[in-house]
Amino acid sequence: MTCINLLPWREARRKEQQRQFFTIAGAAAILMGVIVLYIHMHIGGLIDNQNSRNNYLEKEIALLDKKISEIKTLKTEKKKLLARMNIIQQLQTRRPEIVHMFDDLVRSVPPGIYLTRAQQQDTSVVFEGVAQSNARVSSFMRNLDGSDWYENPRLEVIKAEDSGQVRTSHFVLRVHKAGHGAERTEEKGS
């Protein structure tokens, strides 16, 4: 009988299987390397894209912050200008008030009273003067109370002095300015 040696054929087949295994393993390793490199590059691209978007947003936020600060300064300037305009408007509307107040004061001062000082303090006016008698001071107070431009007269100080034959009274009188004097004048006129 013939003897056939199958060992070299098995050996060749084993070597062929090993070569195929290493080829497939190498191809799989290369494929895995390519996939990992692609994923790394893709994620790096996404990160770069997000970083560029973040930089753009930061620039835009900085521009908006600058505009907001400009708007705030404009608002404060606007408030200051409006306050100035209101003051000017109040002065314009109250400009004839002093004329009316002095005109009314001249009509309210009875004979025998001499005013030495008049000082405005906020919404009140302080009058200092000399009167021939206390009755004239009360007449002055009644006249001021009935005035369109003054209200609530209050006597703060009255001091009588005798100088020889003449007796005089020095007084300090506070009266509030009427906030509706012009309206009262219009009502009387109509």
- Residue type (1 letter), 118: A
Is residue 94 in a domain?
yes
Token pair 């906030």: residue: 179
pLDDT, one tens digit per residue, over 94-114 is 777 778 888 888 888 888 898
Question: Which segments of the chain are extended strands (E)?
Answer: 113-121, 124-131, 150-163, 166-177
Asked whether the predicted pLDDT for residue 41 surpasses 90, the reply is yes
pLDDT band at residue 1, thresholds of 50, 70 and 90?
A: low
So what's the pLDDT on residue 183? 45
pLDDT, one tens digit per residue, over 67-88 is 999 999 999 999 999 999 999 9
So what's the pLDDT on residue 182? 43
Residues 138, 187: contact at Cβ < 8 Å?
no
Is residue 6 in a domain?
no
pTM check: above 0.85? no
Six token digits for residue 49: 């894209």
- Paired residues of 128 in beta bridges: 117, 172
Asked whether the predicted pLDDT for residue 31 surpasses 70, the reply is yes
C-alpha–C-alpha distance, residues 186 and 181, integer Å: 9
What is the domain-level CATH number for residue 139?
3.30.1360.100
Query: Mean pLDDT, to the nearest integer, of 148-172?
Result: 85
The domain in which residue 99 lies consists of: 89-189
Is residue 13 in a domain?
no
So what's the pLDDT on residue 185? 44
Q: Which residues contact 131 (CB under 8 A, 6 or more apart)?
A: 112, 113, 114, 137, 140, 168, 169, 171
Is residue 121 in a domain?
yes
Is residue 54 in a domain?
no
Question: Residue 91: which region, alpha, beta or left (left: phi > 0; alpha: psi -120 to 50)?
Answer: alpha
